Structures are given as structure tokens and as C-alpha cells.
Amino acid sequence: MESYEKLLQKAVDKLPKSRGQGERFEIPRIDVFIQGNQTIIKNFSDICSKIRRDEKVLLKYLSRALASPGSVVNGRAIFQSKLMGRMIQNKLEAYIRDYVVCVACKRPDTSLAKQGKVWLMKCQACGARNTVK
């Protein structure tokens, strides 16, 4: 029969070597470029699918926050002014913080639903319900 230390060492050796940081949700980085007087976010539809929100809703939020009219064409968001990429990224992070991540458990497993005149964010992980502005 083997000693406890040898059995423990065998178990430790079988564990995977690389471990993540435990966070499965990372805020997506925007891929932006300026063409003439327009700012184009190339990976807009990918960002919307990662945060599980409708493209129209996120575009409306960013248009208001950036004070620039925008549209979605072929999965790209096109804004009608020159905008800095860092400013767009900051607004996206604010949107995710306010409308995607659960206030109680800090997970991104939420959905938005309108109940009467109030928007509710319901967490699929912990079941918390919060109103959003």
C-alpha cells in the first residue's frame, strides 16, 4: 500500500497544468477604424452575440452616448463622425456594466425584458431581478 503523500502527488500530477483566472466572461475589444468622416466598428455583430444583446439596442445606446448617428451594415456599426476607439470602448464597458452584468452575482447571464414601462434585468444564474435605467 502506498503512503498518503505518494497518492496525493499522483493526484496532483493528473491535474491540468494550465489554469484560467476563473473568469469566463471578458469584455470584448472593439476593432475600429476611421474612413473619411465615418468611424466603423468591424466586429459589432460579434460583440452583440458575445454579450447576448440585440444589435439595435446596443447601437441606440452607443449613438446616444457618443452623440453620433449610426447604422448597422453587414455586421458593422458605422457612425457618422470621427470617434476615438478608446472612447467607444469606454462606452461599451459602461453598457456592459449597467445592462449586462448582474448586480448581485456579477455574472453576464442576464436578459432584459420590459414589464409595463420599466425595463428589468433578470439573472439566469442567481435569479435576481433589477430595474435598469
Expressed as residue numbers, the domain containing 85 is 29-100
Residue 93's SS3 state is helix
Question: Each residue of 6-65: pLDDT tens digit?
Answer: 888 988 888 877 555 545 678 889 999 999 999 999 999 999 999 989 999 999 999 999
Same domain, residue pair 57 and 120: no
* Residue with the three cell numbers 447571464: 109
Count structural domains, the chain. 2
Evaluate whether residue 39 is within a structural domain.
yes
Same domain, residue pair 90 and 118: no
Question: Each residue of 75-119: pLDDT tens digit?
Answer: 999 999 999 999 999 999 999 999 999 888 888 889 988 888 888
Asked if residue 67 has pLDDT above 90, the reply is: yes
Residue 62's pLDDT is 95
Residue 86's pLDDT is 94
**Residues 92 and 27: beta-carbon distance below 8 Å:** yes
How far is residue 56's CA from residue 72's CA, in Å, rounded to a whole number?
8
